[in-house]
A and B are shown apart, each in its own frame.
Chain A
């Protein structure tokens, strides 16, 4: 019960901190002081208290999208176990539900972008669905490796399997899958090198351009949902990247939070040392992620 409470607490409270850590890391690399670590919390709080500006072109889809986006990512977060602890909701096949909940969020985000009638937002939506068509198969190839290793169809079973492996033959595919999942994380959360959250030109964005017209509490929900998505996918990746268990529950929770913050630092470093890829090169990156996961699967077929 305590673990369940901690899971929910971390899921609801921690995500904006990750964005803060990423921003701080980038600032340090750039030689700036950067915004405070908790800045994203203040931003969201401020947005939640504002009024809104609605485009007269939009319909109910525009208002529904941020709500659906937040709820689906939150529910997906309930399916992913944190650290070595069980997930609040776990059943055979929840892995499929996980992927399709993210799909539902994408459906509404892109539909809301088209709802504004703005060509920029249409562009962003087109890019989002295109890259998802490559990221989604890559994600399922990664899942296949975990199914093959664990013999389980629930996320908890699959993601806890790396804790018990010993042979090198089983560790090699995990390395490949970790690389693949990291690329998927960067693409799904719209980080450099796939998308630049801080670029100044609408023409070159993916995620930020889709939400150009959202304002006030609606934009607050979107910002929160984006950080939640980073949190959830990061948690997923950490199981493959650091399959370690300390033993005592308190120590495990501390280890998990530290790993998560470390991951945010790594994302910040990647953003600092890399330039954004040209838009037409992004599919190559995602195909590479798919191939990494596919090779991982091929290694396990014996």
Chain B
């Protein structure tokens, strides 16, 4: 059985996994078990097929004998598709196991079946998007995915915040789809075909190709969450159930990235400015995304903004690869795209881990506001350890996986500054400077999250009685953490699996023979990482051994002689982030309500600060409000009376008559 047909079977099983639960409405718990088993089984099948396709890469195609309206069913499985299929099968499977405990049918009898159904549909829709090689089929699968995500994000339909975030998502995603429809229609107009294979568009004129590229960038950028078209992302991720956020952030955003890659792979050789634009957009998304994350007080909004940052890093990598394609530099294509694809995997691992972790915190404390938490490391030690691991990984610090992918992108970016590259290309190397800034900001953002939630003392009663979650929540998190460590230490073994995807993207089989081990020696990085772990273990062990025979007094934290310390004097997340938020005030526009002091004996006052989304609050919402005010004028033409509508017909005929007269 070929890999493609195995993947198709997996898609059917995963997509239908929620249906049996609908047939047993009286036994929701059994239904949830059935859904989980089916989804996990289907995903395992899909992962086996992907694993085989990664190790023994071969391009496969399948053209259906029956046609969709306008399009045909054409499927394909190449390196690029396979790389993206892995998180599509892996993360929903782990998420659904997590959902057994987090969103159990016993606690949520009304919504668990709906959630199970659309969870499977979302995963199947995403997999179908990746397989589609026909524009119409692609759009159908794209819509199935977008709508399933809408129903998942609004599963708590009694929560106004979730509903509003869901509507914003729905409007944004359809505006994106509109761009995609225009883009595919344009492509069809120029090439006469709906097919998505490289030979179709190779003869496209530069201006036409650039128009298609820009439309694709906007349409797919909305889904991927590239600034400034990211407006739907923070709200939708924050208000959805945590295992849904994990799939949306860890996997669904990457489908936008996939779209950009698929389109740039079928378009002819790109001009230089495409690469420059991508690197610029990626750098802006990265820096501003993580700067916004530092300003957030909602844990899940923080993670959502950090997704924008990570998408930015991926887009920088893609920009470098496009630059390499424009100049014929194989090294930049392999390092840029290889790094971007590895980061796609890595981000799906550690961001899902962090979202599931956030879910465990919310489950235990009932709040997402980090400034109400604190000291959870003592009550939830396993969760805290896993969060610390995820935080180190997402800050791209060695020896975990985030470092490996950024290492490749850095290598490529720095090599654009080599003496032989001429005068204009080294500008791209400034992307490395942006990446360095992103790295430093990410450390700030995640130390802030880790410190405020898990370290110190509990700030309010919410955090005082928390405890580690049950096995169904812990197991997926442990698995993801293990993956982060494994990919970090074995990145040199993982990266060759991604080279077929690079070759599928640029059509150059030479990429497969690129000497990655000498230009980007991940093996050496692993060596240092292993030395790091060994030395920390050794030195730590020695220290503990030496301390066993010494006195070890436990007292309160040094408070400069202040007699009555309380947990409320701790630095909060807001105060920790304030210096950084001030540094970026030109983009974040933070809101502050300073305390008002009236009279000589002032009454109690309060202080509040927040960092709302600048683009949504200052640009998108005002424009929509203006539209709301002006567009009802159009309704004047809709009187609901037949005679008025009949009047429009002679009026229109008259108008056309005048037009023809003037034309002559």
**Would you call A42 an interface residue if the criterion is a C-beta within 8 Å of the partner chain's C-beta atoms?**
no
Cβ-defined contact, B375 with A51, below 8 A = no
What is the CB-to-nearest-CB distance from A30 to chain B, in angstroms, rounded to a whole number? 27
Task: Report Cα–Cα, A125/B447, bound state, in Å.
Answer: 9
**Contact partner, B558, options A118, A127, A153, Cβ 8 Å:** A118
**Would you call B129 an interface residue if the criterion is a C-beta within 8 Å of the partner chain's C-beta atoms?**
no
Which residues of chain B from 576 to 601 have any CB-CB distance to chain A below 8 Å in the complex?
576-580, 583
Task: Report Cα–Cα, A67/B406, bound state, in Å.
Answer: 25
Cβ-defined contact, A122 with B575, below 8 A = yes
Cβ-defined contact, B420 with A151, below 8 A = yes
Cβ-defined contact, A122 with B571, below 8 A = yes
Cβ-defined contact, B556 with A57, below 8 A = yes
Cβ-defined contact, B555 with A56, below 8 A = yes
**Contact partner, A103, options B439, B556, B575, Cβ 8 Å:** B439
**Count of interface residues, chain B, beta-carbon cutoff 8 Å:** 89
Task: Report Cα–Cα, A221/B569, bound state, in Å.
Answer: 29
Cβ-defined contact, A52 with B547, below 8 A = yes
Closest to B527 in A: A89
Residue-wise, chain A 282-302 has the 8 Å CB interface mask toward B (1 for contact) of: 010000000000000100111
Cβ-defined contact, A70 with B539, below 8 A = yes
Task: Report Cα–Cα, A297/B525, bound state, in Å.
Answer: 27
Cβ-defined contact, B407 with A133, below 8 A = no
**Would you call A41 an interface residue if the criterion is a C-beta within 8 Å of the partner chain's C-beta atoms?**
no
**Surface stretch bound by B, among A12-20, A136-144, A230-238:** A136-144
Cβ-defined contact, B447 with A75, below 8 A = no
Cβ-defined contact, A55 with B414, below 8 A = no
What residues of chain B lie closer than 8 Å to A93, measured between beta carbons? Answer: 407, 410-411, 414, 520-521, 525
What is the CB-to-nearest-CB distance from A3 to chain B, in angstroms, rounded to a whole number? 20
With A74-B535, A92-B411: A133-B558 Cβ-Cβ less than 8 Å: no
What residues of chain B lie closer than 8 Å to A68, measured between beta carbons? Answer: 536
**Would you call B626 an interface residue if the criterion is a C-beta within 8 Å of the partner chain's C-beta atoms?**
no
**Surface stretch bound by B, among A32-40, A108-116, A240-248, A261-269:** A108-116
Task: Report Cα–Cα, A217/B454, bound state, in Å.
Answer: 25
Which residues of chain A from 94 to 148 have any CB-CB distance to chain B below 8 Å in the complex?
94-97, 99-101, 103-104, 106-107, 110-111, 113-123, 125-127, 129-130, 132-133, 135-137, 139-141, 143-144, 147-148
What residues of chain B lie closer than 8 Å to A148, measured between beta carbons? Answer: 417-419, 426
**Would you call A54 an interface residue if the criterion is a C-beta within 8 Å of the partner chain's C-beta atoms?**
yes
Residue-wise, chain B 384-401 has the 8 Å CB interface mask toward A (1 for contact) of: 100010011001111000
Cβ-defined contact, A149 with B419, below 8 A = yes
What is the CB-to-nearest-CB distance from A291 to chain B, in angstroms, rounded to a whole number? 12
**Which label, helix, strand, loop or mixed, suits the secondary structure of the A interface?**
helix
**Would you call A91 an interface residue if the criterion is a C-beta within 8 Å of the partner chain's C-beta atoms?**
yes
Task: Report Cα–Cα, A118/B554, bound state, in Å.
Answer: 16
**Would you call B23 an interface residue if the criterion is a C-beta within 8 Å of the partner chain's C-beta atoms?**
no
Cβ-defined contact, A96 with B570, below 8 A = no
With A55-B558, A56-B556: A153-B411 Cβ-Cβ less than 8 Å: yes
**Would you call A278 an interface residue if the criterion is a C-beta within 8 Å of the partner chain's C-beta atoms?**
no
Which residues of chain A from 60 to 74 have any CB-CB distance to chain B below 8 Å in the complex?
60-61, 63-64, 67-68, 70-72, 74
Closest to A290 in B: B433
Task: Report Cα–Cα, A26/B169, bound state, in Å.
Answer: 61
Cβ-defined contact, B536 with A67, below 8 A = yes
Cβ-defined contact, A97 with B528, below 8 A = yes
**Would you call A216 an interface residue if the criterion is a C-beta within 8 Å of the partner chain's C-beta atoms?**
yes
Closest to B291 in A: A133
What residues of chain B lie closer than 8 Å to A130, measured between beta carbons? Answer: 444, 579-580, 583
**Contact partner, B578, options A117, A126, A132, A151, Cβ 8 Å:** A126
What residues of chain B lie closer than 8 Å to A115, measured between beta carbons? Answer: 377, 451, 455-456
Task: Report Cα–Cα, A151/B519, bound state, in Å.
Answer: 13
Cβ-defined contact, A59 with B444, below 8 A = no
What is the CB-to-nearest-CB distance from A228 to chain B, in angstroms, rounded to a whole number? 13
**Would you call A249 an interface residue if the criterion is a C-beta within 8 Å of the partner chain's C-beta atoms?**
no
What is the CB-to-nearest-CB distance from B429 to chain A, in angstroms, rounded to a whole number? 5
Task: Report Cα–Cα, A228/B434, bound state, in Å.
Answer: 28
Task: Report Cα–Cα, A170/B620, bound state, in Å.
Answer: 49
Among B388, B556, B557, the one with the most A-chain Cβ atoms within 10 Å of its Cβ is B557
Closest to B290 in A: A133
**Would you call B550 an interface residue if the criterion is a C-beta within 8 Å of the partner chain's C-beta atoms?**
yes
What residues of chain B lie closer than 8 Å to A250, measured between beta carbons? Answer: none
**Would you call B171 an interface residue if the criterion is a C-beta within 8 Å of the partner chain's C-beta atoms?**
no
Cβ-defined contact, B388 with A57, below 8 A = no
Cβ-defined contact, A117 with B524, below 8 A = no
What is the CB-to-nearest-CB distance from B612 to chain A, in angstroms, rounded to a whole number? 22
What residues of chain B lie closer than 8 Å to A99, measured between beta carbons? Answer: 436, 439
What residues of chain A lie closer than 8 Å to B583, measured between beta carbons? Answer: 130, 133, 283
**Contact partner, A144, options B375, B396, B433, Cβ 8 Å:** B433
Closest to B385 in A: A60
Cβ-defined contact, A136 with B558, below 8 A = no
**Would you call A1 an interface residue if the criterion is a C-beta within 8 Å of the partner chain's C-beta atoms?**
no
**Would you call A43 an interface residue if the criterion is a C-beta within 8 Å of the partner chain's C-beta atoms?**
no
**Contact partner, B397, options A71, A107, A213, Cβ 8 Å:** A107
Cβ-defined contact, A59 with B377, below 8 A = yes
Cβ-defined contact, B558 with A212, below 8 A = yes
With A101-B398, A111-B451: A51-B579 Cβ-Cβ less than 8 Å: no
**Count of interface residues, chain A, beta-carbon cutoff 8 Å:** 81
Closest to A56 in B: B554
**Would you call B450 an interface residue if the criterion is a C-beta within 8 Å of the partner chain's C-beta atoms?**
yes
**Would you call A50 an interface residue if the criterion is a C-beta within 8 Å of the partner chain's C-beta atoms?**
yes
What is the CB-to-nearest-CB distance from A36 to chain B, in angstroms, rounded to a whole number? 26
Closest to B432 in A: A140
With A57-B456, A111-B450: A123-B419 Cβ-Cβ less than 8 Å: no
Cβ-defined contact, A92 with B520, below 8 A = yes
Which residues of chain B from 510 to 551 have any CB-CB distance to chain A below 8 Å in the complex?
518-521, 524-525, 527-528, 531-532, 535-536, 539-540, 543, 546-547, 550-551
Closest to A115 in B: B455
Cβ-defined contact, A92 with B451, below 8 A = no
Cβ-defined contact, B532 with A71, below 8 A = yes
Task: Report Cα–Cα, A167/B557, bound state, in Å.
Answer: 58
What is the CB-to-nearest-CB distance from B29 to chain A, in angstroms, rounded to a whole number? 37
What residues of chain B lie closer than 8 Å to A101, measured between beta carbons? Answer: 398, 528, 532
Cβ-defined contact, A55 with B576, below 8 A = no
Task: Report Cα–Cα, A94/B554, bound state, in Å.
Answer: 41
With A103-B439, A144-B414: A114-B444 Cβ-Cβ less than 8 Å: no
**Would you call B437 an interface residue if the criterion is a C-beta within 8 Å of the partner chain's C-beta atoms?**
yes
Cβ-defined contact, B576 with A114, below 8 A = yes
Which residues of chain B from 129 to 188 have any CB-CB distance to chain A below 8 Å in the complex?
none
Cβ-defined contact, A133 with B437, below 8 A = yes
What is the CB-to-nearest-CB distance from A49 to chain B, in angstroms, rounded to a whole number? 9
What residues of chain B lie closer than 8 Å to A70, measured between beta carbons? Answer: 539
Which residues of chain B from 552 to 568 have any CB-CB distance to chain A below 8 Å in the complex?
552-560, 567
What is the CB-to-nearest-CB distance from A162 to chain B, in angstroms, rounded to a whole number? 14
Task: Report Cα–Cα, A161/B121, bound state, in Å.
Answer: 57
**Would you call B67 an interface residue if the criterion is a C-beta within 8 Å of the partner chain's C-beta atoms?**
no
Cβ-defined contact, B557 with A55, below 8 A = yes
Task: Report Cα–Cα, A71/B444, bound state, in Å.
Answer: 21
What residues of chain A lie closer than 8 Å to B396, measured between beta carbons? Answer: 100
What residues of chain B lie closer than 8 Å to A57, measured between beta carbons? Answer: 375, 456-457, 556-557
**Would you call A251 an interface residue if the criterion is a C-beta within 8 Å of the partner chain's C-beta atoms?**
no
**Would you call B415 an interface residue if the criterion is a C-beta within 8 Å of the partner chain's C-beta atoms?**
yes
**Contact partner, A119, options B374, B433, B520, B570, Cβ 8 Å:** B570
**Contact partner, A213, options B446, B547, B557, B571, Cβ 8 Å:** B557
What residues of chain A lie closer than 8 Å to B552, measured between beta carbons? Answer: 51-54
Cβ-defined contact, B569 with A119, below 8 A = yes
Which residues of chain B from 418 to 456 have any CB-CB distance to chain A below 8 Å in the complex?
418-420, 423, 426-427, 429-430, 432-437, 439-441, 443-444, 446-448, 450-452, 454-456
**Would you call B114 an interface residue if the criterion is a C-beta within 8 Å of the partner chain's C-beta atoms?**
no
9 A–B pairs (Cβ distance < 8 Å), ordered by A: A52-B551, A55-B557, A57-B375, A64-B536, A103-B440, A107-B391, A129-B444, A133-B440, A140-B433
Ranked 8 nearest A-B pairs via Cβ: A122-B571, A114-B451, A51-B551, A117-B456, A129-B444, A51-B550, A136-B440, A140-B436
Given contacts A95-B414, A113-B451, A129-B440, 5 further A-B contacts (CB under 8 A): A56-B557, A100-B396, A103-B440, A122-B570, A143-B414
